[in-house]
Structure 1
Amino acid sequence: MTPAVFERLADITSLIIVATISTEELDTRIASDREKVERIVGRTRRVTLPPHDEDRAGGHDLAADPARTGRGRHERPRLSRRRTVTLFVLAVAILVGVPVVIFWRSSGCFPVVQLNVLTTPEKQALVEDRARAFERELMKTGQCAVTIQVSTARSAHTAIDLLSNGWGDEALLTAPRPHVWLPGSALDLEQAKRLTEQRDLLEFTPESLGSIARSRLVLAVPPSYQEWTGRSSFTWPEVSNAVARGELLLARSGPRSSSSGLAATMALYRHAPGGTGDVHHRIEQNLESPDHEGSYDLMCAVRHSFPPPAQPFAVLTTDKVVEDYNAGRPLRADCPKRTTPEGERLHMLVPAEQPVLLDHPYVLIGALTPRRDEAARALHTYLRSPASESALKKHHFAPPGKDDGAGTPPGGVEEVLGIWERARKPTRLLVALDVSGDMRDGLRGSPMNNRLAAAAAEVYTAVGGMGPRDQVGLWTFADRPGDIDHEELMEIGETTKDETLPARLQERLNALKPESHPGADPRDVVHDAIDRLRETSDDEGEDEAIDAVLLITSGDESPDRIPADLRPPVSTPVFVVALGLNGCAERTSLRRIAEQTRGQCYDVPGAEAMERAFDGLAVSLWGGGTSGETS
């Protein structure tokens, strides 16, 4: 007989054994219940039934008379027909079933292989549907059985962190260690590999077998925005510009939380006007709720936000997620299935340029046993087979294609994530501007009358490029009589979201004139500025904000000033703009300040150098980590 026949016999034998055991239990229960009924009926007769005449004379109880009831007679015990059949069936099961099980074990199909699959919330329904179909297909064709357990990680960051950490004991409390990982795109796999290398984890050796599905980034807008709903496409530069200028409220899931959020961030940064750190910062500061964990979290927030704001609003996510939203599918526990009203269904626009595609790879994790490896590869083949195409369409995915993969802009994933980490945080910048007599001199190449006017104009331009959640403060300083060298013109805490801020800032800057006092010791000014940032940070609760001091001075060192360390050491970066030739030279106070605070010191002898210095400030604040190097 073939293995398939023996497998069927094994299944039948198992059913027979279960049925036999069930029959014996039923016989026992029937006998027990019969005795209970007879005892109850007997007691009832003694209470309710009148005795016959002879019973009255003899004093007998009808229910207690063995001759009347038939109980108590000596009879030869006989085995019931049902019990005979039961024993016969049990004997057949043992004779037939044991060889079948022995053969099944020897054929390599025992024990049953369990395959643990980790996927995204967006693919959970698809993978569970295909996993059950795959299990049925194996049984139908007589192959070795496989059981598949599907689990999900709410965000890509969670999955990447657990996988690159070896899926420790805490993770096992939530889900079994996966053998197969189905991330949102190859971008997630790239991050996992990098973290694994950093943590020196040899057990994580992923092998990508290729894509199982495809989705693409789209811009989804409510039907009320007719300017957008009448179109079928958009361009990345127009969206990046509109967001940077605050003309479009854009929602996007976090780039560490989902592949769609990361791919969207890459596209926005790649096409940002100028591509500089301050533009990236403005984009992030103008995003609407930029830190949703995943795509379904984002769409759940959109569902709860209707009606949308009057300002143009859009969502940047995948077509699959928008289709699920419009179809009213469940997104989260607090976003159950529902019928989406016509007025809340989103209109999708596709990029006019080359589309950004998510490839949904199929990744084997670690060293698998031969049978599990065979099962995992067979599942991948099944997911890519024509049998799964209708399921992909049902769950709003496209079949995998040759051009799969989300495009990665120059610099790669980690550089983009580094820029995002800085750009997304609000900045609290305190500007300390030298107004001493040394600022009367002119600045080469500048149309302004003196250094102070040139610096004031550049400060106004820089503040205009900050985001709506940023804060700015303005001080002036000189060696004035008394204990305090600085004067506070604008208190830190003023946000650029305040529409009156630009006019008030310009008014104060235009009113500045060089004073007759000499230059103050910059170390005292820096200490006071950092203390002020700390005080207001506690009051405002801006723990995640980037605090920084911008010190703009003539750069002229007093010959009797000895460079010394700041006391106590500080961690707030100080960026120094020295309007002279040698303000940032070796062994100057300004250079020491920049080095000790991991800031930057810029020598600015002319107008072009001034522009480069402020561009460097933007890169240091929002385009990457601060550096201790000076220039």
Structure 2
Amino acid sequence: MGTPTHPLHRTVLAVDVSSFGRRAVNGQGETRRGLYAALVGAFDVCGLDFSATHHEDRGDGVLVLIPPDVAKSRLVRLLPEALAGELRRHNATHHESASIRLRVAITAGEVQHDAHGVVGDDVNLAFRLLDSDPLRRALERTDDVLALIVSRRFHEDVVRDDPAVPAGAFQRVEVGVKEVRDHAWLRATGPVAAPGPRHRSRHRRKRSGPRSTALGLVAVLLGIAVTDASAAVPPAVPPCPAPVQLVVLTSRDKEPVVTRTAVEFEEESRGFTERGCKGASVQVTTGSSAHGAAAALGGGWEGAQDLTEQGAQPHVWLPDSSFEVERVRTALDRDPHVHVRLDPRPSIARSPVVVGASPELAERIGEVDGDVRWSAVDRFAAPDVSEGAGVAVVAALADGQLGGVHPAAPGAALALRDLVRRGTATAPPCTGDVALVAPEQEVATTRGCRLLYPTGGLVVLDHPFVAVEWTALPENPRRRRVVDLFEAHLRDGGSQGAIRRDGFRDMNGAPGLVGGPRTGPPSEVVEVDDGEALRRAWEAAVAPGVVAVVSDGSPDAVAFTSSLEGLLGPRDRVVAVAPGPGSLEEAVRRDADAVVLLASSPVPQQAPGTSAPVRVVAVGFGDGSCAVSTALYAAVKAHDGECAEVGAGSGTQGALETVARGIWGRGT
């Protein structure tokens, strides 16, 4: 079973052995071996690697998809003559019952792999052309070993304007097979008969160089065929099996180095298959490691064989951190209908979270040995928590600046909101007093940043290797072996060197070439207990909103409003709503996300319900102001909110925490 892939533009070559079904079984086997030997040899003559193509056996023929980076003109200029020469060599050294004459069709277009092979309009067209009457008649009317037909579009795009193709080499024919009603272009033989004198003279003036080259190649091939007529029978060359398709999902930061190592692995895969066949084809896709991709995995990747916006279902997942893996495993355990099993394996790389600063800021806050205290980092660029790296940054900030914070703790929303106010989404990092808190390789490769290492423990991204098993699909031992081999490839010296060159630390903690002065792993690593809860809490803390304040105008209410406004960010907005029975509905009408009721005296009873959901939190100034019998309590209770009292025995800090939790704590 394979995995669907995105369509790719491919050159399609289809060949069919004439009169194959009339042969005895022994003759058919020898014919098939000769056909593959001829294809391999012809591709080699053209400087192409047949084993690098995708090819499917069709019994009496072969479907070949040429890699997209191979120029189509090479197939027209060289392949027909090279293949004809290989077929003549075979026919000269084998019994007549195993002789080969071929019908050949070439098209080009978008082709997609699915669970059973390849599909595409031009794949269908190639086989319709193979079965067309003009091509069959052309082979019957000649003694040559090959008749070639190309599609109308291929002729227009490739053949017609190629000066290396002799004039008159192709003739237009009409094709009508099943749904195909179009014209195509036929070339019945290898060498083309010399045209009349007038045309020959004009042809020599315009194309003398390329024509000599083409005819010279034909002569060489014919010479080879005669010379090898008495040679030994070529060894049997059975077809290469299709390579195992391996889909690798990785985060954006690792995508460049993973892609390069995947290309090297594809080439290395020839060493673990028979006859040097390509053993693996790797597709690298990227996604938001901690959010989108993990959610897709946790959701079972809707439709086991479907393509989603994340791409094809992965067989290997290379997230930034183990806490992302734990999040997905938790989701899988909760849903009995999801048939996905994760097999997390040790790290392939490591990335400590460090601080980057401009030279001026580094001189001011950095210590002699390159250390920095978290308390010295006043402003920092806001992290993107859609990636696991961003969640690690939040964990590092929370641990260093706040001494650690659990998102569900009573004061967590207020602490994170206070931390958010120091972040900036507008000023570039490592300019002025704005620091960059990020993984080491990002800081090291960001222009203008100097590396500083926070004192105390470090949050370290461990970049695990995760094998993904889709248990609802049939077991695939070949793919499992390729997954293991790909893991071994990522751990070998060459790949680990590439990882270091991209600024990551290798799996043992050795720094990259662009790393800083720290040569070993940190002495203390800060564990991220619940990365997903921390991500939700941070997203809630940074989300802009409209806060409606319903105040009775008392001095306590005015002072508290001032404290509340100190927590607001530049994208937040406060609207004042007059107290009254319809205050909550008025706040909804003014697009408020949350309502804060502030009162020193009893408030009017609020109308039950609102036309849209809204979060409500209240602060009553005076003992008993939040008693269950009060209108203030009834208003928040109807909206699942909280009411805090500021009285003789309680200050404003607890009330601020209650309000912050009501406005920005919705993510926990």
**TM-score when scaled to structure 1?**
0.62
2:571 to 435, 460, 469: 469
CA contact (8 A) 1:549 1:572 kept: no
Match of 1:379 in 2: 486
Letter in structure 2 aligned against 1:16: G
Q: Does 1:534 align with 2:534?
A: no
Change (3 A) 1:375 1:163: same
Task: For 2:382 and 2:443, locate their aligned partners in 1 and report how far apart those are by CA, in whole Å.
Answer: 12
Q: 1:228-377 alignment to 2 at 5 Å?
A: 228=365, 232-239=370-377, 242=378, 248=379, 250-255=380-385, 257-273=386-402, 276=411, 277-289=413-425, 302=428, 311-325=432-446, 344-367=447-470, 369-377=476-484
Letter in structure 1 aligned against 2:40: L
Task: For 1:363 and 1:220, locate their aligned partners in 2 and report how far apart those are by CA, in whole Å.
Answer: 30
Task: For 2:37 and 2:371, locate their aligned partners in 1 and report how far apart those are by CA, in whole Å.
Answer: 60
Letter in structure 2 aligned against 1:148: S
Instruction: Give SS of 1:362's match.
Output: strand
2:297 to 142, 163, 168: 163
Q: 1:10-409 alignment to 2 at 5 Å?
A: 15-16=40-41, 18=43, 22-23=81-82, 25=84, 36-40=193-197, 92-93=233-234, 96-97=235-236, 110-140=241-271, 145-156=278-289, 157-168=291-302, 171-172=307-308, 175-197=311-333, 200-225=336-361, 226-228=363-365, 232-239=370-377, 242=378, 248=379, 250-255=380-385, 257-273=386-402, 276=411, 277-289=413-425, 302=428, 311-325=432-446, 344-367=447-470, 369-401=476-508, 407-409=526-528
Q: 1:403-418 alignment to 2 at 5 Å?
A: 407-409=526-528, 412-418=530-536
Deviation at 1:261, TM superposition (A): 0.8
Deviation at 1:35, TM superposition (A): 5.9
Change (3 A) 1:529 1:620: closer
Letter in structure 2 aligned against 1:253: P
Task: For 1:42 and 1:463, locate their aligned partners in 2 and report how far apart those are by CA, in whole Å.
Answer: 89
Please list every run of 5 or more consecutive structure 2 residues that lacks an aligned counterpart in the other structure.
1-33, 46-78, 86-143, 147-165, 170-187, 203-221, 406-410, 510-520
CA contact (8 A) 1:280 1:622 kept: no
Instruction: Give SS of 1:219's match.
Output: strand
CA contact (8 A) 2:340 2:468 kept: yes
CA contact (8 A) 2:300 2:338 kept: no
Task: For 2:492 and 2:80, locate their aligned partners in 1 and report how far apart those are by CA, in whole Å.
Answer: 43
Counting strand residues as a fraction of each chain, which structure ranks higher?
2
Letter in structure 1 aligned against 2:384: G
Match of 2:601 in 1: 554
Higher CA-based Rg: 1
CA contact (8 A) 1:252 1:261 kept: no
Q: Does 1:419 align with 2:537?
A: yes
Task: For 2:191 and 2:36, locate their aligned partners in 1 and report how far apart those are by CA, in whole Å.
Answer: 35
Task: For 1:606 and 1:359, locate their aligned partners in 2 and report how far apart those are by CA, in whole Å.
Answer: 50
CA contact (8 A) 1:570 1:597 kept: no
Deviation at 1:215, TM superposition (A): 1.5
Match of 2:8 in 1: none
Q: Does 1:574 align with 2:574?
A: no
Letter in structure 2 aligned against 1:149: V
Deviation at 1:593, TM superposition (A): 0.8
Letter in structure 2 aligned against 1:209: R
Letter in structure 1 aligned against 2:381: A
Which digits, 9 at most, give the CA deviation of each residue in 1:164-217, with x for residues without a partner?
Answer: 233347745773321101111112222323444455552221111111111221
Instruction: Give SS of 2:627's match.
Output: coil
Task: For 1:43 and 1:145, locate their aligned partners in 2 and report how far apart those are by CA, in whole Å.
Answer: 46
Letter in structure 1 aligned against 2:586: D
Deviation at 1:595, TM superposition (A): 1.4
Match of 2:137 in 1: none
Task: For 1:262 and 1:116, locate their aligned partners in 2 and report how far apart those are by CA, in whole Å.
Answer: 25
Task: For 1:140 and 1:217, locate their aligned partners in 2 and report how far apart those are by CA, in whole Å.
Answer: 39
Letter in structure 2 aligned against 1:267: A
CA contact (8 A) 1:434 1:553 kept: yes
Match of 2:660 in 1: 618
Q: 1:437-452 alignment to 2 at 5 Å?
A: 452=554
CA contact (8 A) 1:183 1:360 kept: yes
Letter in structure 2 aligned against 1:396: G
Instruction: Give SS of 1:376's match.
Output: helix
Letter in structure 2 aligned against 1:266: A
Change (3 A) 1:350 1:567: closer
State how many pairs are aligned.
Answer: 454
CA contact (8 A) 1:422 1:624 kept: yes
1:589 to 611, 617, 631: 631
Instruction: Give SS of 1:122's match.
Output: coil
Change (3 A) 1:375 1:220: same
CA contact (8 A) 2:354 2:451 kept: yes
Match of 2:185 in 1: none
Letter in structure 2 aligned against 1:281: R
